[in-house]
Structure 1
Amino acid sequence: MLTEIRFAGFGGQGILLAANIVGRAAAIYEGGYATMTQSYGPEARGGASSAQVLLSDEPILYPYTTHEDILVALSQEAFTRFAPNMKPDGLLLVEEELVRVEGLRGTERMFGIPATRLAEELGKRVVLNIVMVGFFAALSGLGKPESYHQAIAASVPKGLIDLNLKAFEKGYEFGDRAAHRPPSEETAIADLAWHHP
């Protein structure tokens, strides 16, 4: 089965590393197939940045998304630009302190996380992308946590592995709690009605 994913935000948020880790976890440590393509805005740091990741249990013939099954949005611009292209029953994951969710069809499943704040609690704001990878792993159900641990260890400098694994766990725990929270306990973002898988 083919799963189309887009990670999007702005330069400096580690969008490409996050996408690369997801693809690496699937292709190398889960034994599947993955492709990744990337694009930047006019300036690398601060400009728009996005990466398309396709995961499949069969060889992938076309490496671009057509309509995303999962959108991970870390900026308002990313949400505004890419949310309309999601599948109607897609999974939307947002950095809830940077993205105001509005104008969706209401059939999407949506979850938010204060990834920047959680990263700052670890002492390094730059690991917000890895917090989002953990959140993604918990809510997408794509791959075992151990596969992500291995992909992270293979993708970041040796001295930063522990910090990044802690960031992943923070995001994963937050996502796991969100997935099992009764609807009455959820907090809506904007006027969106939240939907569960």
Structure 2
Amino acid sequence: MMEKCRLVFSGSGGQGIITAAILLAEAAVLHEGLNAVQSQSYGAQARGGAARSDVIIWDKPVYYPKVIQPNVLVCLTQTAYNKYHPTIRPGGLLITDTALVKVDKSAEARLAWLPFQDQIKQEMGNARGLNICVLGAVAALTQIVSIPSLESAVAGRFDERFREANLKALHMGIALGSQRSSASV
């Protein structure tokens, strides 16, 4: 029996956090045989407004789709961090970007403060793929789904014109997550 994993992906519209959450849920359901629910909310603006997506993954039925206190919290903007970091479960995992979020040391969580945006820009020339890079780190750090399951979900989601770039971004995130040592906030 696995422990229920409650994840919140947060940031702003246009960063692709909802896509990342959907891909994680798809990998869990379609490739791991687990149960998953994914819900989302976003501000009035398609780009730039607040965005949040909740994912619950478990080997038992999930009856309520909203995450109140996440085990894993991903924050890709300072606003999202300021709003959601107090909700993380003690001992949970906070994943954020060194260039996008300044972390204060008040949360009782493990911290993965990684250079996603810098890595993506350096390797790919722009910030496209940031969400998929973060998704790779989530998989490496939590092991909630296997890397092959996530690769299959990503490959199945994107048109072949974008598939290779997204798989590259996924593997950059996996490498970042795998290299990180556990630290407390």
Task: Report the TM range for the smaller structure's normalisation.
Answer: over 0.9
Equivalent residues in 2 for 1:43-62 (5 A)?
43-62=45-64
Q: Deviations over 1:21-73 (max 9, x none)?
A: 11111111111011011011121101111100000001101111120000011
21, 28, 31: which is aligned to 1:26?
Answer: 28
Contact 1:25 1:143 in 2 (8 A): yes
Alignment coverage as a number of residue pairs: 182
Q: Percent identity of the aligned residues?
A: 34
Provide the C-alpha distance between the structure 1 equivalents of 2:54 and 2:103, rounded to a whole number of angstroms.
21
AA matched with 2:143 = G
TM-score, structure 1 as length reference: 0.88
Give the superposition deviation at 1:157. 1.8
Unmatched segments (≥5 aa) in structure 1: 184-193
Structure 1 runs of 4+ off > 2 angstroms?
A: none
AA matched with 1:114 = P
Unmatched segments (≥5 aa) in structure 2: none
Give the superposition deviation at 1:165. 0.6
Residue aligned with 1:165, SS: helix
Partner of 1:135: 137
Residue aligned with 2:99, SS: coil
Q: Confirm whether residue 112 of structure 1 aligns to residue 101 of structure 2.
A: no
Q: Deviations over 1:109-147 (max 9, x none)?
A: 001111112222223411000010011111111111100
Provide the C-alpha distance between the structure 2 equivalents of 1:96 and 1:70, rounded to a whole number of angstroms.
17
Partner of 2:44: 42
Give the superposition deviation at 1:103. 4.7
Provide the C-alpha distance between the structure 1 equivalents of 2:164 and 2:126, rounded to a whole number of angstroms.
12
143, 148, 161: which is aligned to 2:163?
Answer: 161
Residue aligned with 2:163, SS: helix
Provide the C-alpha distance between the structure 2 equivalents of 1:98 and 1:50, rounded to a whole number of angstroms.
16
Partner of 1:195: 184
Contact 1:14 1:126 in 2 (8 A): no
Q: Confirm whether residue 96 of structure 1 aligns to residue 94 of structure 2.
A: no
Partner of 1:74: 76
AA matched with 1:20 = I
Q: Deviations over 1:170-191 (max 9, x none)?
A: 1101110113xxx7xxxxxxxx
Q: Confirm whether residue 9 of structure 1 aligns to residue 8 of structure 2.
A: no
TM-score, structure 2 as length reference: 0.94
Provide the C-alpha distance between the structure 2 equivalents of 1:108 and 1:60, rounded to a whole number of angstroms.
25
RMSD after superposition: 1.4
Provide the C-alpha distance between the structure 1 equivalents of 2:119 and 2:135, rounded to a whole number of angstroms.
13
Contact 1:93 1:112 in 2 (8 A): yes
Q: Deviations over 1:81-114 (max 9, x none)?
A: 1111110111000011100111523x31001111
